[in-house]
Structure 1
C-alpha cells in the first residue's frame, strides 16, 4: 500500500492524518478528495460515527479503487443528551458552518449551570480496501466554556476544554492537540491495525 485516500475535503483533517499516520506508515502517500477525479458523495445517513465513516470509506474505494480512510466525528454534550453527535457538522442546518453550529450549541446551553457542561469529542475512523474493513475509535472528554477562545483547530474546538487542561482545544498547539484528541487516538489505533 503506497497510496491511500482520505475521503474528505477538509484540508485540516488531511494535514492531521498525514502528521499522525506518516510516522507510523512511512512511504505512504495520503491523498484527499481534491486530488482524485470528482465523484458523487453519498450522504452521511448513518446513525453512528462508525456508520458514517464506513459509508465515506466504502464510497472512496468504490469510486477511486484506492484503499480509503474516512472519519466521522463530533461533539456529544451531556446536557443535550449526547447531541449534536453525528449531526455536529450540520447542527445549525448548513453543513460545515462552524460559527453557526457553535453559536447554536451555546444558545441551547444558556440556562444550563456550568457544572453540567460536560462534553466529549468522539471519532470513528474506517479503513476499507478490497479485502477488509477496519474500524477504530477515540474519545476526548472535557467540558464546555461559554465564550470561544483560541484560533487553532476548527468546529467546536474554541468552546471545548479537554480534561486535565485549562485551555480550549483551539488554544492548544497542534502537537498538544494531536497527542490527546479523539481523532489522534482513533488514527493511531488505525495505524496499529494497518501495520499488523
Structure 2
C-alpha cells in the first residue's frame, strides 16, 4: 500500500526537485523520507537506494532535456537548429542545476541505451546533417559540441564568468557563431 500517496514517479520528481535545491549528490533516500515525513523504508518500494534514486533522476533529466530539445528543433535546420539545441541545454542547466548534474551521471550501457541520452545524440546528428558534416565525422562533431556546451554551462553555473567582461550571454552568442562557422567549413581529412 502506497503511503502518503507515494508513487515511483512522485518520489523521483521530488528527488529531482531536491537535487535542484541542494545538489545532485545530496539527493538521498533519507532526505526524501524527511521531506515526505515518512520512514526511509516507505520509499524502498519505489527506489532501491540512493544510487537507484540518482539513476532515476538522471533518466528523468535526460528525458526532459530530450523533450525540450525536440520541441525546440522542430522545423529548424543549420544555425537555427544549432542555436535552439544549445539554448535548451544552457537554459535547462540554469533552471535545473541538480537535474543537469544528474544528466551527466555515468549509466550502465543497458540503461544508457534506453535513455533520453540516445535521443540527444540522434538530434545532434540531425543538426550535423544540415551542415553536410561527413557521417564518418559525426561522432567527433557530437563530442565537440557536447564538450563546448557542457564546458560553458559548467563554468557559467559555477560562477566562472561572474567577474569578467563581456557578459557570459555575449560570449555564448559568439561561441555559437564560431561553432556554426566551423561546422559550415568542417575540415576534410
Question: By percentage of residues, which structure has more helix?
Answer: 2
Question: By percentage of residues, which structure has more strand?
Answer: 1
- Larger CA Rg, structure 1 vs 2: 2
Give the TM-score of the pair, scaled to structure 1: 0.28
Give the TM-score of the pair, scaled to structure 2: 0.29
